[in-house]
Amino acid sequence: MKFTDGFWQLRPGVAALYGQEAYDIWETADTPDGPGLVVTAPTKVIAGRGDTLNRATLTVALSSPAEGVVRVRIAHHVGGAAPLSFDLPGESSAGETVVDATGGELRTGSLVARVEQGAPWSLSFSSNGRRLTGSGAKALGYMTLADDAQVDPGIVGNARAGTPVGRPRTFVHEQLDLGVGELVYGLGERFGPLVKNGQTVDIWNADGGTSSEQAYKNVPFYLSSRGYGVLVNDPGHVSFEIGSEAVERVQFSVPGEVLEYFVIDGPTPKDVLGRYTALTGRPPVVPAWSYGLWLSTSFTTDYDEATVTSFIDEMARRELPVSVFHFDCFWMREFNWCDFEWDPRVFPDPDGMLQRLHERDLRVSVWINPYIGQRSPLFAEAASQGFLVRRADGSVWQWDLWQAGMGLVDFTNPDATRWYQDKLRDLIAQGVDCFKTDFGERIPLDVEYFDGSAPDRMHNLYTHLYNKAVYDVLVQSRGQGEAVLFARSATAGGQTMPVHWGGDSTSTFPSMAETLRGGLSLALSGFAHWSHDIGGFEGTPDATVFKRWTAFGMLGTHSRFHGSQSYRVPWQFDDEAVEVTRIFTRLKMRLMPYLFQQGLDAAATGVPVMRPMVLEFPEDPAAAYLDRQYMLGADLLVAPVFSESGEVEFYLPAGEWTSLLTGETVHGGGWRRETHGFDSIPLYVRPGGVIPWGARSDRPDYDYLDGLTLRVFPGGEGEAEVMVTTPDGRSETFHADRGDVTR
């Protein structure tokens, strides 16, 4: 949100108080993290005793919740209720402080935060003696808006749905320096350019599709090309101006009286993500079966058990491996979402059907959301027990946008959470293996929560509580390592409850490209696993789009055929679509020893399986802006084809790269233009890569050690160490001579 009118002036109706100096600095043990610094920053340089009267100050506290991480808390008035913050499972105490006549320092690992004594205000962050960023003149701001201020924070979000942000009167902002050539990434799933410089980004979950500036997964964390990250520890509306107001700075602001953020050390982008996910939660291991193809009924199509069986029979007849069958919304009766009951008109024998699906070695996923329609028998039950979010007058909050008269489950109420979870336990006992947790973004503000949480802070955080309620049931019922969601909305920490998919795209090449940009941005926000609707959700793709999207969709962690108004079985398009599905589904199954290990590594390090090129090649300036290709794990480069003609342009970093599909070797360090048929895609192995190659192509969850081949590719030297872990947890480490090229 922009407060200024150019460099010198404020926008009409905006009043600003800036921290002008570090008037005094003292050491304290009274911080959330143990030793720290507290700084008084008056909003005027204090020249005499009289200047201390009638004068606002900003109190700045510095501490360290983990090695290599500095917490900065800026407060105007501290007497109000403490604002909500994110869960920080990795929080501890790691800082050391020093104060002398020139200023104060907080040291944690190689990261040093230094506040200079006196004026002008100066807070800097350095690592191993190299300055990363800092906060200078007019960076600490306490902003007040008049009623007629020409600033409107209320336009953010789904206005039609009645869930835009409110119009608060006060804000706290910070500005951190942007160096020459410094680039900013992350901030959740964003469908615009991968590099966020020049953008305004509002952290406010909204159901806006993939073709808008809105996003389902907003994360107030960004990663800098200079080797650090910043997390704003506020689950509410955080507004970022990334070189888009003060072009030399990143500005972030929150409503209210307090702003808290963390600066996270690197030095590499992987190191930053490792520290960030250690603090906010690492992604868990997901089951091997979930990497296989998910086949869906789609949304508004007609289906019953006969339809489902026909899909499965035809996939088997065509030798197309399927691992999960997904039932979308209409497994329940219309107007009843959610009542967690199979519609008896179309599924008269759900127990028998689920048993028959399991006998075919399939897992079953069903769609749910956190809403209870008025027609559902559960509405009255939940309302009578106080399990639905209420308005200030005590009435149940309801609206008609989605399900008629629906209410919202209050997950801040432990009894409501248990009640909701019990419904899921019944489905799990019946034979359901996992849940698609849809929605969670359209969360109102004119409500009161059971635990008294501020509605503006709960708007983004609600989805975290919703997904956690579902994920915890799966962990309790299936065990850690077997639990998996298919979730749409998220915020910081959501990476601990995979998998997430990209939301409602359209069935076009441009939408395919924006979907990829969203996934890359999400990966740079700490999410290790990601999926999307192959072929696009809205509309029906033509055969060309479907085939190109299938090749792309199978070269990721999780792959799902799903749409809105039409089935997404490949024979609905043409015979070649069947062959393309067969080729790339089988390819993924052979890659499972590699992919599953990459998932295990992500759980240990926080480095995502799907990686933007800049994450793997931070020293290559050509990789900085690449958003039409990615690394799948450490060794495979994927460049999806976004054209009917098959023409694709992509960049190969320096070295000797080898096509996994053809064995052709090419020298990198530049751009390539290739033309691919539908049965092909640019899929290159990194120089010196060693790919563990599985023996089976019919399923993802097999014994990877049985018949394993190590494929050694040219361009490397020395010995490679390759670990392979089976779905049942057996591991073996292999050593391969990179000079013994096998391909």
Write down the catalytic residue from 441, 514, 533, 616.
441
Alpha carbons 408 and 402: distance in angstroms, whole number: 12
Which architecture does CATH list for 4-280? Sandwich (2.60)
* Active site (annotated) includes residue 504: yes
Q: Mark whether 703 is an active-site residue.
A: no
pLDDT at 154: 60
Adjacent-strand bridge partners of 589: none
Spatial CA neighbour of 463 closest among 434, 433, 500, 432 = 500
User: Residue 91 has what pLDDT?
Assistant: 94
Q: Contact at 8 Å (CB) between 488 and 501? A: yes
What would the mean pLDDT of 534-557 be, rounded to a whole number?
97
Q: Are 725 and 597 in contact (CB under 8 A)?
A: yes
4-280 and 626-737 have identical folds: yes
Residue 712, pLDDT > 70, answer yes
Contact 188, 215 (CB under 8 A): yes
Please identify which of the residues 438, 533, 616, 627 carries the catalytic annotation.
Answer: 438
* Rg over CA atoms, the chain: 26
Average pLDDT over residues 499-510: 97
At residue 166 the predicted structure's pLDDT band, cuts being 50, 70 and 90, is low
Mean confidence (pLDDT) of the chain: 96
Q: What pLDDT score was predicted for residue 468?
A: 98
With residue 667 as reference, give the H or E element that holds it: strand 665-667
Which class in CATH covers the domain with range 288-369+412-442+453-601? alpha beta
Residue 450 is classified by DSSP as T
Q: Which CATH superfamily is domain 626-737 in?
A: Golgi alpha-mannosidase II (2.60.40.1180)
The answer, yes or no, to whether residue 724 has pLDDT greater than 90, is yes
pLDDT surpasses 80 at 50: yes
Catalytic residue among 456, 504, 616, 627: 504
Task: Flag whether pLDDT at 155 surpasses 60.
Answer: no
Please check the confidence at residue 112 and state whether its pLDDT lies above 80: yes
User: What value does the mean pLDDT take over residues 36-61?
Assistant: 97
Phi-psi group of 48: left, alpha or beta (phi > 0 → left; psi -120 to 50 → alpha; rest → beta): beta
Looking at residue 198, its pLDDT comes to 98
Q: Judge whether residue 126 has pLDDT over 80.
A: yes
Higher pLDDT, 581 or 740: 581
Residue 690 and residue 736 in contact, taking contact as beta carbons nearer than 8 Å: yes
Is 161 a residue whose pLDDT tops 90?
no
User: Please, what is the angle between helix 414-430 and helix 377-384, to 10°?
Assistant: 150
Q: At residue 285, what is the residue type?
A: V
In this model, does residue 156 exceed pLDDT 70? Answer: no
391, two tokens: 């308005």
Residue 108 pLDDT level (bands cut at 50, 70, 90): very high
Whole-number pLDDT of residue 637: 98
First to last CA, the chain: 53
Mean pLDDT to the nearest integer, 206-225: 96
What ranges do the domains of the chain cover? 4-280, 288-369+412-442+453-601, 626-737
For residues 534-559, give the mean pLDDT.
98
Specify burial of residue 547 (Cβ count, 10 A radius: 0-12, 13-18, 19+): buried
Percentage of the residues of the chain whose pLDDT score is greater than 90: 94
Give the span between the Cα atoms of 245 and 16, in whole angstroms.
Answer: 15
pLDDT at 739: 85
Residues with Cβ < 8 Å from 420, sequence gap 6 or more?
Answer: 370, 387, 409, 411, 469
pLDDT at 17: 98
Please state, in angstroms and rounded to a whole number, the distance separating the CA atoms of residues 473 and 482: 11
Cα angle, residue 220 at apex, residues 506 and 399 outer, rounded to 5°: 60
574 is catalytic: no
As a whole number, mean pLDDT of residues 280-291 equals: 98
Confidence of residue 82 (pLDDT cuts 50, 70, 90): confident
**Residues in CB range of 235: below 8 A, 6 or more apart:** 84, 85, 86, 457, 458, 460, 461, 464, 491, 492
pLDDT tier, 688 (very low <50, low <70, confident <90, very high otherwise)? very high
Are 491 and 233 in contact by the 8 Å Cβ rule? The answer is no
pLDDT of amino acid 346: 96
Place of tokens 């835009």: 164
Note whether 681 and 641 are within 8 A (CB).
Answer: yes
